[in-house]
Structures are given as structure tokens and as C-alpha cells.
Amino acid sequence: NAPLNFAVMGNPIQHSYSPLLHSLFAKQAGLAINYEKMLVPLDGFEAAVQTFFSQGGKGLNITIPFKLRAYEQAKANLSRRAQSAGSVNTLWMEDGQLHGCNTDGIGMVNDIRRQGIALEDKKILLLGAGGAARGVVLPLLETGCRQLLIVNRTASKATALATQCLAELPQYTSVLSAGGFEHIQGQWDIVINATSSSLQQHALPLPAGLFAHNSLAYDMVYTPENDTPFLQQARQDGATMASDGLGMLVYQGSESFFIWNHVRINPVPVLETLRQQLLTG
């Protein structure tokens, strides 16, 4: 049998770990696949997607800066997760039509669960209101958390995000709220950094005593050593557990793999391999 063809499209794309991840998933599943990095010119994204599938491609991952354009291109057939995220990282063909999903949010939730943490009835603080924050709101609400507060440096973006989510999901009115960093009060079980502050080596203006007993600090940014400025700040301020976003990357990939191949693999050994690879350069 000829290998199944997959790719990740982005610009830049050199940094992507997706080919490595999917080759490890496929090995575990016993599937022969071919997964490439495709550097796509900024004016050629839609045509590149069409060409890929017309030549028999089975599935695409989409990364920066094309996730919004992938959403537009698959607008007729979006999953609920893609609709609520407002962006698409996974494309495939079904019944002759392009379909889109966003697996980032469920990837993060599953990575938190991997660490033995239940989200039901938890107080969750989400820092940031950009694309990454938007992508995790629906999967977080669906865990049955008690409270989800979105705070952002530009407070109006956090309130706009919450307003938009509540227009679609009014049943969460008593769970979801938003504001600026000065809105943070009390103690939180899970604090997620969905800002890019750690990439800029910036600390966030968080109040002292924020972390509840047995709390988790989660940074979507990842580093080889599972250590970012936010995680350092959180450990000093009493967070019990601290996790970077490498697992989110692996788990979002495993969800795409499932959509395309209908096979559930175990992401844990793949995460261990990737962590090791990052540490040894």
C-alpha cells in the first residue's frame, strides 16, 4: 500500500515538530504515512490547500499565520470546536468537501488530565485573550469547571471574548466572566498562561497568594526544561504543579491523527521522546 500523505502548512515552518510527532504516532499505530513540512507563500495558501487535496492528500495541519484563512476556507464544514475557536488547525476531505477542526483546546485539556488533574468543579483562571485563549474556552467550559475567569492586559479584549462566547453558550453565564488583571481575586485551582509573555521573558502582574492548595500553573509556551518565566513566578508564589505547553502540542497532534485515521494512540511515550529530543538539542 502507498503511504498516506499528510503535511503541515505554515510560514515560517522550519521549527515545526509535527512531522516528528506524526511519524511517531504512525509507528505506534502501525500505519505507513508520509508527513511533510510545506512552506506556503502568503499569497498562495488557498491554492496550496486545493492542490494538496486534489493530488490525493489525506490531511493537513495548519499553523501560523494561516489558521484564520483555513477557517474561512472550510467555513461550510466546521466542527463545533473550530467554530468556537474561530480558527482551524486540522483540515481533511469528506464527501468531496473540505472540513475543518481546531484540536488545540482539547489538546490542552487532555494534557492537563494526563497530569492526574480533574477539571470538574475547579476554579480556572485564563490569562490572555488572543487566538490561543479563544481556542481553549469551549473545551474548558465543557469540562464542568465551576468558574472560568478570562483576564487580559487589554481588558476590553477579554470582555469581548467572554461576551462572544456567552452569546453562543448562554448556559455558562454563571461560570464565565472576564476583565483586566486587577479583576483577579481569591485563589485558583488552575492558572493557564495563554499570553506570549514567556516568549518575551516578561513577568505578569499577578497578585500574591493566587494559587490554591494543590493548584496547577500551565504555560502554553514550552521550553526544553519545562521552565518559563511564568512557571518560575508561579512556583515562587506557591503553585503545587507547573507544566509547560509541550504536552498540548503532542495532544493536539494526536487529536488530528484520530480525525484523519480513526486510530487512538497513546501520546505519553511520544511526549517523552519529544521532551528528550528538545533536551539533547
Given the complex with ligand NDP, which of 78 and 161 has the nearer CB atom? 161
- Does 5 show up as a binding residue in the annotation? no
- Residue 249 lies near ligand NDP (rule: CB under 6 A): yes
The CB-nearest residue to ligand NDP is 130
Q: How far apart (Å, rounded) are the C-alpha atoms in residues 50 and 38? A: 14
The owner of cell 515538530 is 17
Q: How far apart (Å, rounded) are the C-alpha atoms in residues 120 and 116? A: 12
Q: Where are the alpha helices (DSSP H) in the chain?
A: 18-29, 45-54, 67-73, 80-85, 104-114, 131-141, 155-168, 229-236, 246-261, 267-280
R_g of the chain, CA atoms, integer Å: 19
- Residue 221 lies near ligand NDP (rule: CB under 6 A): yes
Q: State the catalytic residue, choosing from 67, 75, 122, 123.
A: 67
Tell me the β-bridge partners of 191: 125, 217
67 is catalytic: yes
- Residue 132 lies near ligand NDP (rule: CB under 6 A): yes
Shortest distance in whole angstroms from residue 280 CB to ligand NDP = 20
Grid coordinates representing 38? 510545506
Residue from the set 19, 59, 100, 245 that interacts with ligand NDP by CB under 6 A: 245
Q: How far apart (Å, rounded) are the C-alpha atoms in residues 267 and 265? A: 6
In the shown chain, the binding pattern of residues 23 to 62 toward ligand NDP, with x for contact by CB under 6 A and - for none, equals ----------------------------------------
Q: Which helix (H) or strand (E) holds 147?
A: strand 147-151
How far is Cα of residue 213 from the mean position of the Cα atoms in its chain? 26
Interacting residues with ligand NDP between 195 and 214 (CB under 6 A)? 195-197, 199-200, 202, 204
In the shown chain, the binding pattern of residues 140 to 179 toward ligand NDP, with x for contact by CB under 6 A and - for none, equals ------------xxx--x----------------------
DSSP 3: P
Residue from the set 102, 104, 109, 267 that interacts with ligand NDP by CB under 6 A: 104
- Indicate which residues carry an active-site annotation: 67
Residues contributing to the site for ligand NDP (CB under 6 A): 104, 128-133, 152-154, 157, 194-197, 199-200, 202, 204, 220-222, 245, 248-249, 252
